[in-house]
Amino acid sequence: MFFLQRSIISCGRNGTGAWARVLPPTHPAVKDIQQRDIHEMSGDVVPRNMIKGIGHLRDPRLNKGLAFTLEERITLGIHGLQPPRFKTQEEQLALCKASVMKYTEDLNRYLYLVELQERNERLFFRLLSENIEQMMPIVYTPTVGLACQKFGVIYRRPRGLFITIYDKGHISEILNNWPEQAVRAICVTDGERILGLGDLGACGMGIPVGKLALYTALAGIKPHQCLPITIDVGTNNEQLRNDPHYIGLNKPRSQGAEYDELIDEFMAACVRKYGQNVLIQFEDFGNHNAFRFLDKYRDKYCTFNDDIQGTAAVAVAGILASKRITKRKMSDNKFVFLGAGEAAIGIADLCVKAMEADGCTEKQARDNIWMMDIDGLLVKERPEGNLEGHKVWYAKDYKVMKKLIDVVKEVKPTVLIGASAAAGAFTSEVLAEMAKNNERPLIFALSNPTSKAECTAQQAYDHTDGRCVFSSGSPFGEVVYKGKTYKPGQGNNAYIFPGIALGVIATGCHHITEELFLISAQAVADHVTDEDLNRGSLYPPLDIIKECSIEIAVRIANYAYRKGGLASEYPEPRDKRSFIASKMYDANYDSPLPNLYQWPGDSAKPRTLPEKECVDILHDLKQL
């Protein structure tokens, strides 16, 4: 990043210059300036005089708003460009939080946070990381889905790279246009399957932007190390192509060899530009491509697919945590999945690994898993055929069954998992049957956004006599059933992928193996307390996700160094936790002396706004 240039004393202004009358030689700031030639802001050494004047205020990574001290304002050439008031970061945070909450529409809150990130990066990430429960549903699911649908209208300025099918042969040149050179993590989508919303083409850029914001807020990965990318090969969404506000290529999706060659070139170009260990996260690719690319690249690159592996890890974490309620081992469960796409298959595959850890064979584990897709139960001899890819592993030698209720009655599962984007598919009859067959049935309605969930939390409790153990992919509010209040947990991938990325980047892992996701799932489950379980949540509170991320990274580091050849960052650190912490981003402003937040002779002291004053600010804003 950049360093402040503070050499006003050595530039002829000491003693007799005009600024000496503002900053006398005895002022603590003057002594501080004389003792330091450079001042670190984020970890990368750049001469202080690289950016001065109004450019400093316009750079979101350097801008601190009214938190610039008098010394800094003079040194940087911004004195007079701002009001004379000094504010601490804490005061700014209180105002920003109140400003976000003045909006009644989540999309407007999203736009406010986007503007804040583009204006003052550290303030944005501190606001997000310290208010996860309120802010994450805005920058991530469910609001990010709406933001993607409206992306053509709300797009303002570059927040990542767009690579099109017509750029084939020139991807390296496009990567060179990105201003940051120290990229360690890339999140890429082709926009074909955005959440449960389908093909949004270039408007899918909201997903990698949101994911990488959580990399920083939840795991401390430095923002300049993150690069969002959308690969635009067209869209099959005719409504989008007919929309005058659509920002992508107005053509049907390219497929086949041309498409594959583009992705091959993209992967090679990323490694050539940023090194063999650059992490490449695939996000929201269509089912037919997601598994193909995972199988193709996982042993050649440092890559993973969050829809397959991240979703799997967070779901398995919930099931592992539920063992303290159900008293069942993982291998004692019988699973029925509604949906057989990348999320469902990913969860099933990791469940198999977890059951193997319990002592099952792979075949025994797969026999415990029954899956349904749009054509019904996966059976070997069904009329529709189409048992391609990983689906064949879960096809049963069984009769054809088309309805979920029939499968639940026949199989009598202990765990019902929805990853189908079929809203309302867990009917009252299905839920009642689960309760009939189990004292504590596990109901996971994981499809998102919320409008696509297989059932609501209220429905799950109502139709299982309050005995279900419920989890969802998008957040639901508190549920009251027979006088008891439940606060169900959200099986959010954000518990997993930031910590995975932190551990992999810190240790320089060459590849991301399935074992890392099982390690991560267990780490999250271990953070679930009895109090969490009693309130109906299989996950820890959202506001401790950062602690989960650090623990995941530490466990990955221990595994990576124990498993020869996985880590490449040497020498092996003795204290893994301190080592991980040393790699993390600090969203706090550098802390000057307290009396630098005042004019010479001013007796006012910096302060943190009390709760009442925050409420007053919110009231004032609502009157605007």
Could you confirm whether 211 is annotated as catalytic? yes
Q: Which amino acid is at 547?
A: E
Distinct helix (H) and strand (E) counts, the chain: 27, 14
Contacts of 315 (CB under 8 A, 6+ apart): 347, 350, 417, 444, 446, 471, 491
Q: Six-digit token pair at 280? A: 């490449």
User: Catalytic: 140?
Assistant: yes
What tokens were used for 57?
């205020």
- Per the residue annotation, which of 211, 273, 391, 576 is the catalytic one? 211
Structure tokens at 85: 């008031």
- Give the number of other Cβ atoms within 10 Å of residue 501's Cβ: 31
Q: Which two tokens stand for residue 30?
A: 């003057």
Q: Cβ–Cβ contacts within 10 Å for residue 182, how many?
A: 12
Pairing verdict, β 335-338 and 415-418: parallel
User: 469 near 476, Cβ under 8 Å?
Assistant: no
Contacts of 454 (CB under 8 A, 6+ apart): 338, 418, 420, 422, 423, 424, 425, 426, 445, 446, 447
| Nearest Cα to Cα of residue 67 among 613, 610, 606, 609 | 606
Burial (CB count within 10 angstroms: exposed 0-12, middle 13-18, buried 19+), residue 294: buried
The Cα 306–Cα 252 span in angstroms is: 26
CB 406 within 8 A of CB 363: no
- Give the chain's end-to-end CA distance (angstroms, integer): 37
Nearest alpha-carbon partner for 14 in 5, 23, 6:
23
Give long-range contacts, CB 8 A cutoff, 24+ apart: 103-112.
106/137, 106/138, 106/142, 106/143, 106/146, 107/143, 107/146, 107/147, 107/150, 107/154, 109/138, 109/143, 110/138, 110/139, 110/143, 110/144, 110/146, 110/147, 111/154
Catalytic residue among 64, 87, 140, 481: 140
Cα–Cα distance, 317 to 444 (Å, whole number) = 12
Residues β-bridged to residue 480: 485
CB 303 within 8 A of CB 279: yes
Handedness of CA 268, 273, 278, 280 (dihedral sign): negative
Q: Which two tokens stand for residue 491?
A: 């099986």
DSSP 422-465: -TT-S-HHHHHHHHHH-SS-EEEE--SSGGG-SS-HHHHHHTTT
Rounded-to-integer distance, Cα 566 and Cα 33, Å: 45
Bridge partners (DSSP) of residue 187 are 228, 281
Return the structure tokens found at 340: 């057989």
Cα–Cα distance, 252 to 238 (Å, whole number): 8
Residues that are catalytic: 140, 211
